[in-house]
Amino acid sequence: MKRPLLFLLSTVVVIGMAEWLRVDAAAQGRTGTITGHVKLTGPPPGNPIIRMGMDPMCGKLNAGKRPIQEYVVVTESGALANAFVDLQGTFPNTPPPKEPVTLEQRNCVYTPRVIGARTGGTLHIVNDDPVVHNVHSGGAVNPFNFSQPKAGLTRDITLKGPDVMMRVGCDIHSWMVAWIGVETHPYYAVSGADGTFKIDNVPAGKRTIRVWHERFGMLTQPVTVTAGKPTNVEFAYTGKEKPSTALVQELTIPFAEARLDLRLVAAN
Average the pLDDT over 172-191 and give the result: 97
Quick one: pLDDT at residue 140?
Answer: 86
End-to-end CA distance of the chain: 84
Q: How many domains does the chain have?
A: 1
Range of the structural domain that residue 122 is part of: 32-264
Quick one: pLDDT at residue 3?
Answer: 52
Distance of CA 197 to the CA centre of its chain: 12
pTM comes to 0.81
7-61 pLDDT per residue, tens: 444 444 444 443 433 434 334 459 999 999 999 999 999 899 999 989 999 999 9
Quick one: pLDDT at residue 20?
Answer: 39
Would you say residue 21 lies in a domain?
Answer: no
Would you say residue 26 lies in a domain?
Answer: no
Quick one: pLDDT at residue 149?
Answer: 96
Would you say residue 10 lies in a domain?
Answer: no
The single-letter code of the amino acid at 139 is G
Q: The CATH number of the domain where 167 resides is what?
A: 2.60.40.420
Would you say residue 47 lies in a domain?
Answer: yes
Would you say residue 18 lies in a domain?
Answer: no
